Structure 1
Amino acid sequence: MDIKDIYEVWDRFEKSSLSELKLSLGGDNLELKKAIEVEAVIERPLVREVSRTAEPNGVGETLRSEDSNPNHKEIKAPFVGTFYRSASPEAKPYVAVGDVVKKGDILGIIEAMKIMNELASPFSGKIVEIRAEDGKMAEYNQVLFVLEETDV
Structure 2
Amino acid sequence: MSMIMDLPKIKTLIDFVGKSPVSSLFVTEDGVTVRIFKTVGDVAEATPERQNEDVQPSIAQMLEERTVRGRAIRAPVFGILHRAPAPGEGPFVEHDDTVEEGQTLFIIEAMKVFNKIAAPCAGRVTYLTATDGGEVDVDELLAEIA
TM-score using structure 2 length: 0.54
**Unaligned stretches of 5+ residues in structure 1:** 1-16, 18-41, 47-67
Q: Percent identity?
A: 32
Q: Displaced runs of 4+ in structure 1, greater than 4 A?
A: none
Cα offset for 1:130?
Answer: 0.7
Contact 1:132 1:138 in 2 (8 A): no
Matched, 1:118 2:139: no
Cα offset for 1:103?
Answer: 0.7
* Structure-2 separation of matches of 1:111 and 1:89: 14
Matched, 1:89 2:68: no
**Unaligned stretches of 5+ residues in structure 2:** 1-6, 8-62
* Structure-2 separation of matches of 1:104 and 1:122: 6
Residue correspondence of structure 1 range 20-59 to structure 2 within 5 A: 43-45=64-66
* Structure-2 separation of matches of 1:144 and 1:135: 13
What's the secondary structure of 1:122's corresponding residue? coil
What is the number of equivalent residue pairs in this alignment? 85
Write 1 or 2 for the structure with the bigger share of helix. Answer: 2
RMSD: 2.2
TM-score using structure 1 length: 0.52
* Structure-2 separation of matches of 1:142 and 1:123: 19
